[in-house]
């Protein structure tokens, strides 16, 4: 029950902060953005203290570990793959153009 209350309070804080951001448009944008970021930080902190928030933080940590395991391609591999893709796209475009032209010719021939 306490987790639900924390999440509701975090959402209410964000709604109020966004409402005030647009209500006080005559004030400096810098001050309004700083206030909005401050409230957003507090809301995220409050939400992270719940079971759901804790599991989200664990998920984010696990994704960072997985990203470090990724083997990124070298520049040479990237260029070669890009050239192959471009070549295949052009080849398929030419084949589709030829097929479309053939079908257009066949339909024109039948219509005469």
pLDDT tens digits for range 11-52: 999 999 999 999 998 999 999 999 999 999 999 999 889 998
Question: Cβ(59)–Cβ(37) under 8 Å?
Answer: no
- As a whole number of angstroms, the distance between CA 112 and CA 108 comes to 6
| Structural contact between residues 43 and 13, judged by C-beta atoms closer than 8 angstroms | yes
How many other C-beta atoms are found inside a 10 Å radius of the C-beta of residue 97? 10
**What's this model's pTM, rounded to 2 decimal places?**
0.54
Residue whose structure tokens are 């696990």: 62
Q: How confident is the model at residue 54 (pLDDT cuts 50, 70, 90)?
A: confident
pLDDT attached to residue 2: 86
**Complete DSSP assignment for 53-105:** HHHHHHHHHHHHHHHHH--PPPHHHHHHHHHHHHHHHHHHHHHHHHHHHHHHH
**pLDDT value of position 15:** 96
């Amino acid at each position: 029950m306490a987790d639900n209350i924390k999440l509701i309070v975090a959402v209410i804080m964000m709604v109020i902060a966004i409402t005030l951001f647009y209500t006080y448009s005559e004030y400096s944008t810098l001050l309004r953005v700083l206030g909005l970021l401050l409230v957003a930080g507090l809301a995220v902190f409050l939400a992270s203290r719940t079971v759901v928030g804790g599991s989200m933080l664990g998920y984010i940590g696990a994704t960072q570990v997985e990203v470090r395991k990724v083997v990124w391609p070298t520049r040479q591999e990237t260029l070669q793959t890009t050239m192959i893709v471009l070549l295949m796209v052009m080849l398929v475009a030419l084949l589709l153009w030829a097929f479309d032209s053939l079908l257009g010719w066949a339909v024109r021939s039948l219509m005469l």
